[in-house]
Structures are given as C-alpha cells and as structure tokens.
Amino acid sequence: MMRETRYEAIVIGAGMSGSWVAKELCDKGVKTLMLDRGPDVKHLKDYPTAGKYPWEYELRGAMSTSHTEANPIASRCYAYKDGATHFFAPDDAQPYIQMQPFDWIKGYQVGGKSLMWARQTQRWSQYDFSTPDTNEFGISWPIAYQDLAPWYSHVEEFIGISGEQDGLDVLPDGVFQPPKEITVVDKHLRHIVKENYKDRHVIYARCAHLTDPKEIHREQGRGQCQNRTICERGCPFGGYFSANSSTIPWALRTGNLTLRANSVVHSIVYDEATGKAEGVKVIDANSKEEKVYYADVVFLNAGSINSTAILLNSQSDRYPNGLGNDNGLLGKYCGFHNYRARISATCPGFEDKVVDGRSPTNVYMPRYVNLDKDKDGFKGAYGVAIYTARYRKQEIEAIGEDLVKDLMKDKNFHSWSIISMMMGETIPKETNSIALDPKAVDQYGIPLVQINIGYDENDEKMMEHFYHEWEKIYKLAGFTNVERIDTNQAPGLDIHEMGGARMGKDPKTSILNANNQLHAVDNVYVSDGACMTSTSYQNPSLTYMALAARAANHYMKSRV
C-alpha cells in the first residue's frame, strides 16, 4: 500500500453531518479530505429529474413490480419514487444480515440522504436530554441542552429553517425564517387543542426550507423554496438544505477541501506507538484498489450503522474487537424511532374549503408525555406529525359523458382527511445491536453487517397511549370515521437509526465522551447518529448537524 498525501483531517462520509464537519474545518483553514463511498452528485448538474413534469413519467410515478421486487427494502421508503430512485442505494449494493426484520434505507452518494430527507428540523429540549435520567433507562447524556443550543443556532442560521417562535420549553425556539401556510383543518385542530389542553400544542412543523433567503444563503448560491414538493429529486434552487447545495460547495470554495467520491472505507488505521489513529484505509469502489490516507484527526460520519461497522472493523493488536471498544459495548444500545402507529379520520365541517397548491411541510405536536418521570405507563417520549389534506376525487361513480363531466368539475373533492403519526422514542437496549458477520463479506471483502434490532413491550404500550389520547383529541375536534392503524413496519423504515457508539460520561459504559471523541482514541470523533445516547422522538438530522459542528470546533480549540 502506498503512502498517499497527508491531510490534517479526514472526514468519512459526505452527508448531513460529515459535510458540516468539513465546512467548519475548512472555514478555519484545515486541509481536509472528505471520503464518500458513492459517486459525486454536483448541485444542479446531477439532478436529472428535477425538471420533469408528472405527466412525463411513463407510469405516472408508480414503480413497476419488477423494480419493487428487485428492491423490496428501498421500495418501502415513502420518498422512493420514480424520479428519485437514483439517489437510493439499490438493495444489492450492500447486503446485510437481518437477525430481525430491519429495513436499512441507504443513500450512497456525495450528499448522502441529505438529498432526499424529510427536512424536518426540531430541536431537542432539556427534557429530551434528561429523559434517560428521569425515565430511568440507559445512561445519562454527557451534555445538556445548553451545551448544544448555540450550535443549533449556528446550524439553523446557515441552513435556513422555516418556523414559528412558539415559546415552548418542550421544543425550544431557534433562528427561523417565516413559516408557510397551514391548512384550515390544521388551524381548527390547533384551536381545539389550545382550548382543551394546557400541555399540548399544535405547531407549524419547522423545516429546512428557505422562505426568506438571507445574505448567507445567497452566498451559498441558494434561493427561495418554490413549493415544488419534489424535493427528493434534488432542488435546483437550493430551496431546502442539502449538503450538495450548501455545506459541500461552501467547503470546496475555501480551497481547503479535497473530496474523494467512490471511496469505500475499510477501517481506521491505529498507530500502536502513539495510541492514536493515523489514517484511513480505503478501497476504490471502481478499481478495488486499496489506499491509506493519513491525517492528524479522523471524523467518522458515515451514518450510524456504517460508522459503527467501520469502528468494529478497525481491529488492531490493541483493539482486537474494534477501535475504542475496551468495554465491549461498541455496536450495542442501538435505537430508532417507532413510526408504526397512525390514526386517521375524516374532518366534516369544512366542505366549502380546499387547499390550492402543495406544501413541503405539515403541523406537529411536540412531546407531552413523561416530562419529569415515566408516569404515563411507559418510558420515553413521543411527538406527533399531523397531515391534513383534501384531495380531488379520482374514483367517480358515473361512466360515460357523466364521468368526464364530473372529473372536469372544480368541486369534485373528497372530504377533508387527517392522519396523525406517532413519532416514538425507543429505549436503547444492549440486545438491539449491530455486529460484523464472522464469515460473510461484501464485494470489497468487508464483513457484512448483522443487524439485530426490534420492538419491545414499551413500544406497544406507547402506541396504545397515543391511540387512546388521539381518539379523544379527534372526538373533541369533531372528526369522524376514526381508525387506528398499525403499519407493522420493521424498524429502519423510520430512517432514524441511532446509537452503536453512544456518548457518555463513563468510559466503562460508553464509547464516546462529551465531545464526540472516542474515550480511548481521542483523535477519532464520531458525530453522526452512532453517537446518540438516547433517541428522543424528533427527526434527528438537525441534532446531528449541531453535534458535528460542535465536535469540529472542539477539535479546532484543542488544536490551539
């Protein structure tokens, strides 16, 4: 293996959190190498379907059975649509072993899943960081909300968040751009909840869309969200945040970033003499050639499962079970979000009202359970994503000329409908784990990942609580045809896999310290989902970005 150019820092993974590390380091003059296993995706140039109209799709957006049969896992993702499939890794791109059913949704390209994420950006609160303590599970977070708050603001200002100042301690406010409109039924529900509950709030769901671009966004070359709602194809306006439209080109413009796509990371190379990581072993995705890149510091941001797997595969005489894995807990205490429970209804009383156009966001109810202790019959928190809509009728009873006349009418709408989805915290358990298969390897000779993650009784109890509470809310709102839904979906489809290398105060019970460094090897930082001590219930990307920016700046401080 040849000794390649040396960099000061290597960032593994060019997605949501990795691109934030690269931006922060490059802004401060650090010569940085960023590696990604997938091909490059250039903003504007590599969004081939971004301008395609719905009627230009042969199957009008549906996926053929042959395609879904070849990709049963990716096909289950809500954003896996004709026009966006090229941003999802095909199921055979990286096989894995499901010890229990687990849908691992992957985006293997520069930018990662930041291209097709849901763009929901709610902060964690003091309650969320303290839930393991107050609800008595897992271990304590080594940081509190106050430690992350300035980094939330730092990220929010740069990426642009549309939101309202709600003044809630369960969901702290941030740096927001104006909200978009909400629907008439959203307003009704908000009113009903306000009238009947002191501790519950229907708010505009904060999202990473520019509604009033500032100078910092124009400097990035980004413009206002156009309400296209085809975000998962890539946005040529940069209307929503993606690494491709924002942090990566920003870092490249500093002249300090070297981006190497198609670079599959095999492991982090450990130097027994110094007790530090000295580089990263990479396999070229096309030529299969092996190379080692050297650096003073390594940031691991490959996504929760892959970051954990890379650490497990980074074996040496000192760390035979994976880098920094003295306590044997690497790969354990994984979590995800329970998205199984939904409740739907029709909403009478708004027959003379419709929506016009499309919105990229919705409304939301932050947590109202288990704030100070687990008094609600289960442990952990849940929030609720709420979707209201009124669709045009496609199922017309008539036939012939009457059918065509019905279809052409402006008033041909279904009733208003609502579906609310529980976003549930799961309790990290030692048995919910990731490991390397002792025998099977992938096309690069890297051990396959075994994923052993499942639901438990606590998840079921939380769902029952949600159903019960929301049946009451729907009744107060006058909604009818209320129906409980259990999607029975496997973990993973929430695309919020977390943990495996959790942060903690004690090296005996955690892998990372309060600054996202390996306890045992302090020039390795892990600041993606793998670091999460608990999961809370919010979409986690904003928290990953804030943790990543904080970790990069911790390195800069320690370097001085």
Q: Min. distance of Cβ 412 from other proteins in angstroms?
A: 9
| Phi, psi of 215, rounded to the nearest 5 degrees | -55, -40
Contact 170, 372 (CB under 8 A): no
Q: Min. distance of Cβ 184 from other proteins in angstroms?
A: 4
Q: Min. distance of Cβ 531 from other proteins in angstroms?
A: 36
- For β-strands 498-500 and 332-335, DSSP reports them as antiparallel
Task: Identify the CA nearest to 193 among candidates 420, 482, 379.
Answer: 420
DSSP string, 37-51: SS----TTTT-TTTT
DSSP string, 271-283: ETTTTEEEEEEEE
| Phi, psi of 539, rounded to the nearest 5 degrees | -55, 130
Q: How far apart are the first and last CA of the chain?
A: 33
Pick the closer one to other proteins by CB: 2 or 399: 399
Q: Min. distance of Cβ 449 from other proteins in angstroms?
A: 32
Question: In the structure encoding, which two tokens stand for residue 334, read together?
Answer: 């994984």
Task: Identify the CA nearest to 484 among candidates 462, 467, 469.
Answer: 467
Interface ranges with other proteins (CB under 8 A): 44, 50-60, 62, 64-66, 180-184, 186-187, 223-224, 226-230, 236-237, 352-359, 392, 394-401, 403-404, 407-408, 410-411
Burial label for 527, CB within 10 Å (0-12, 13-18, 19+), is buried
**Rounded Cα gap, residues 242 and 51, in angstroms:** 18
Pick the closer one to other proteins by CB: 226 or 327: 226
Pick the closer one to other proteins by CB: 184 or 498: 184
Pick the closer one to other proteins by CB: 186 or 425: 186
**Is residue 203 classed as helix, strand or coil in its secondary structure?**
strand
Pick the closer one to other proteins by CB: 228 or 505: 228
Pick the closer one to other proteins by CB: 183 or 450: 183
Q: Min. distance of Cβ 363 from other proteins in angstroms?
A: 10
Pick the closer one to other proteins by CB: 407 or 441: 407
Contact 527, 299 (CB under 8 A): yes
Q: Min. distance of Cβ 392 from other proteins in angstroms?
A: 7
Q: Min. distance of Cβ 322 from other proteins in angstroms?
A: 44
Pick the closer one to other proteins by CB: 357 or 438: 357
**Rounded Cα gap, residues 265 and 302, in angstroms:** 9
Q: Min. distance of Cβ 122 from other proteins in angstroms?
A: 20
Contact 145, 172 (CB under 8 A): yes
Contact 296, 556 (CB under 8 A): no
Pick the closer one to other proteins by CB: 407 or 440: 407
**Rounded Cα gap, residues 118 and 122, in angstroms:** 12
Task: Identify the CA nearest to 160 among candidates 491, 551, 545, 488.
Answer: 545
Pick the closer one to other proteins by CB: 126 or 417: 417
| 3-class DSSP string for 367-432 | CCCCCCCCCCCCCCCEEEEEEEECCECCCCCCCCHHHHHHHHCCCCECCCEEEEEEEEECCCECCC
Q: Min. distance of Cβ 181 from other proteins in angstroms?
A: 4
Contact 63, 76 (CB under 8 A): no
Q: Min. distance of Cβ 223 from other proteins in angstroms?
A: 5
Contact 257, 22 (CB under 8 A): yes
Pick the closer one to other proteins by CB: 3 or 42: 42
Q: Min. distance of Cβ 227 from other proteins in angstroms?
A: 4
- C-alpha distances (whole Å) from 478 to each of 365, 418, 458 are 18, 12, 30
Task: Identify the CA nearest to 248 among candidates 540, 554, 13, 83.
Answer: 13
